[in-house]
Amino acid sequence: MDLVFIEDLRIETIIGIYDWERTTRQVVALDIEMAFDNSRPAASDRIADTLDYKAVSKRLIAFVGESRFELVETLAERCAAIIRDEFGVPWLRLKLSKPGAVTGSRAVGVVIERGTRA
């Protein structure tokens, strides 16, 4: 199985458990690997045959930008569900980072894998 990836997709959102986090937009960064058989689009050279990473990115930007979750775990699960359900992705690995959330670190967050990788 091939992989289509989106790296360092940065989106502003409301995320966090502290009072100040509920009123201040923060950046989250997503790194996503998605299983997809690229042989068909490679043969046809047609965007319609691909896993359109621009469409995936636009959908996540809209969703995350409007979300108001407390936990990065919840946001990561919802993003993974969107990718799998709406784009037919059988397996994905999603890393959701919250840059600057912990003093002294570049970022904190979660990495999840969902589905079956053929």
Catalytic positions: 98
| Distance, CA of 30 to CA of 51 (rounded, Å) | 17
Residues pairing with 27 in the sheet: 12
In contact, 25 and 12? CB cutoff 8 Å: yes
What distance separates the 2 farthest-apart alpha carbons in the chain? Answer: 52
